Each structure stands twice: as structure tokens, then as C-alpha cells.
Amino acid sequence: MAVLKVPVTANDHIQGDKNAPITLAEYGDYECPHCGRAHPIVKAVQRHFGKQLRFVFRHFPLTQIHLHAEAAAETAEFAGAHSRFWPMHDLLFENQQRLGLPLFFELAKGLGLSSSELRSALETGQYAPKVRADFLGGIRSGVNSTPTFFINGRRHDGTYELEDLVQDIEAELLEMKVAPG
Amino acid sequence: MARILNPGTTAPDFTLRVTPDQNLTLSELRGQPVVLAFYPADWSPVCSDQMALYNEVLPEFQKHRAELMGISVDGVWCHAAFAKDRRLHFPLLSDFHPKGTVAQTYGAYRESEGVCERALFVLDSEGTIFWSYCSPIAVNPGADGILEALEELSKQESTHGRVESTSHSK
């Protein structure tokens, strides 16, 4: 079974209680239509499990077939450097049909960030190494498509439909109760 | 699942079409590692496409000087359209006529469906199979196995003190 080879650390983008028993990690691509569909589902999973779950997002852009995916990921990282990762993350998925530089600058401005700073960060590839590191970590962990989810480090091989994700997470919670530690 | 050739076996040589007017012969690539990725068909869905994934990992393969080649029974024009659409930066070989002959020699042909298995082979610089893996046909095997094999191979070849003096220009 494929397992997460790169542990979740403070360098990750993490949403939720840091002591949550469940860590749901997603490798995703802002231009991937499946990731776009999964985005509200992840929100629903987060609502369902509340404090029991923390969510981690890592970049896995397929840059040759999704021409805006790399810049979108770097835009999210730019926002993250200014503590605005999650709002930017949501906006990128919510505006998936309009991905491109004009949108990235507009979203940055809307979040109170400097669009000229974003432009120079994209031009110099300031956040490209972080995005590539996420991608390569994903490759090492057996990510083979987007989105790929890991539940407490184990790859979720079912679909990303709500029932499937909830079922697997509940099974994991049960297993932890049966065999604590 | 087919029984694919095991590590230690000499990789059967072949000459296949790579473009409508060019052939590629495996033995011409001696002197560097080669990754052969047999796959069932062009045009699988984009976000889960094995070739699109390998395209993104290409710089890592190149760090090991490895040459990656995709092989399916699709014709050259189909390959050309697929490679253009997915912006692939590595060759796709056409095991088209007589259909699947090369795949058969690697034990990587599915007679029942008439397509290649999802079978991976990493060859060392002398053309011997160093690592092989056959994935269930519906499962994209990812790239982790290939990378681990290439790393292991680099380690072994450097401890054996082999210095590759030949260089093949494309």
C-alpha cells in the first residue's frame, strides 16, 4: 500500500486542530477539474469531522497539460508567505474556469496583497522550488493522479466522493480506538 | 497478469517506429539507463494519465541520464497527436505492425484485449533488465518504483567503478 513518505511538518499548509487524530492530506492541482470537484467535498468532510480532522494541501501540478497550474500553485504559496494561503486556495478553486495571470493579480489585490510583488515572485520563480518539492514528495509517495488523498499517511484508493472519504476516515478512527497508539 | 521478463535478463533488442519516418533501435541507447514504459493505449483521461505524469518527472530521470520511452500498440499518427496534445517531451514507440510483437518478447502483451500491459522496465547501461514491474491494467503505477530503481542502479554502477565514455547524441 502506498504511504506518505514526506511527513507533515510545520512547513505544510495545515487547516484544523493540530492535535486532531485524523490528518487528511491532498495532493492537488488548481487546474485539475477533479480537484475542483473535490474542493467542496473536502469542505464537507472537514465540517463532518470537525476537531477530529486536520487538512493538509500539497501541490501536484501537471504543468504540461494544465498550463496555469504551476503559476496558480506559486500564487497560493505567495499568499501563504503572507499568511493568506487558505483564502487564496479557496479562491483559486472557486474561480477555476478563469485561471490566469489577470485572475491571480485580482485575487491577490482582493486579499490585500501586492500584485506587483506577486508578479515579480512569479517571474523569478520564487516559490517554484517549494511547489516542485511538494510534487516530488508526492511522486515518492506513489501519487499517480489528482486529487490523491492520504488518511493518516495511508493512500486512500477509493473515490473522492463524500461517502467514500467519510467511510475510510471513520474506519481509521475505529481502528485507532481498537488499537490505541 | 502476464509474466513479464525478470531482472537479470538481457532486454530483447527491437527497432520500432518513433515518428512517421523515423525508427528507433534499443541497442543504440547502450551506455545509459533506459526506462521502457509499456501502456495499453493513448488518450487515457488527463488527470490520471501515466505518460503525462512521467512527462513531469522527466528531469528526475534525466539526472540519472536515463532515456524514457513509452510503448503501445497505437500507430505513429495516433502517437503524434497524443504527444502533441499532452506536450510530451519523450518518444512514444509504436508496436503496431506486426501488432504487439515487441511487447510479446517482454511478456507484456495482453492477447485477450490486444494491448500492452502496464509494464515497466529499467535497463542498465549494458541493456540488461535491472528492474521490472507489471501493474494491474487499470492502475497507473506512478513513478516511485522507477526512481528507486534508477537510484539503486546509479549506486551500483558507481561502486563498480564503471565510467561511461560513450555519449549518444539524439
ipTM of the complex: 0.92
At residue B169, the pLDDT reads 43
pLDDT at A2: 87
Tell me which residue in A32, A34, A64 faces B87 most closely, judged by beta carbons. Answer: A64
Residue B79 phi, psi (nearest 5) = -55, -45
CA dist A64 → A129, B24, B54 (Å): 17, 25, 11
- Quick check: B165 pLDDT over 60? no
More confident residue, B155 or A180: B155
pTM, entire model: 0.93
- Chain B residues whose CB is inside 8 A of the A141 CB are 144
Please tell me the predicted confidence (pLDDT) of residue A18: 86
Between chains, do B52 and A63 touch, taking CB under 8 Å as contact?
Answer: no
Q: How far is A134 from chain B (nearest CA, A)?
A: 13
Given pLDDT bands bounded at 50, 70 and 90, which one contains residue B161?
low
One-letter-per-residue 3-state SS of B109-147: EECCCCEECEEEEEECCCCEEEEEEEECCCCCCCCHHHH
Do residues B68 and B61 touch, judged by C-beta distance below 8 A? Answer: yes
| CB atoms closer than 10 angstroms to residue A21 | 16
Sort strands B34-38 and B67-72 into parallel, antiparallel or unpaired: parallel
Test B53 with A34 for CB contact under 8 angstroms: no
ω before A147 within 30° of 0 (cis)?
yes
Residue from A64, A67, A131 to probe the interface with B (highest B Cβ count within 10 Å): A64
At position B79, the amino acid (one-letter code) is H
Segment A108-140, tens digit of pLDDT: 999 999 999 999 999 999 999 999 999 999 999
Verify whether residue B78 is a known catalytic residue. no
Measured between beta carbons, which residues in chain A are less than 8 angstroms from residue B88? 64
pLDDT at residue A180 in the model: 54
Average model confidence (pLDDT) for chain B? 93
Mutate to test the interface with A, among B35, B42, B50, B53 (most CBs of A within 10 A): B53
Mean pLDDT of A172-179: 85
pLDDT digits (tens, 9 = 90+) for A46-71: 999 999 999 999 999 999 999 999 99
Q: Is the pLDDT of residue B5 over 70?
A: yes
Nearest to A64 among B48, B56, B139 (CB): B56
pLDDT for position B78: 97
Tally of CB atoms within 10 A around B98: 8
Size of interface A-B (CB pairs under 8 A): 54
CA B139 to chain centre: 17
From chain B, the residues in CB contact with A143 under 8 A are 142
Distance CA A66, CA B13 (A): 36
Q: What does the pLDDT look like over B27-82, one tens digit per residue?
A: 999 999 999 999 999 998 888 899 999 999 999 999 999 999 999 999 999 999 99
Residue A166 and residue A35: Cα distance in Å, rounded? 17
Each residue's pLDDT tens digit, A67-115: 999 999 999 999 999 999 999 999 999 999 999 999 999 999 999 999 9
Q: Tell which residue, A103, A84, A69, A107, has the closest CA to residue A13.
A: A84
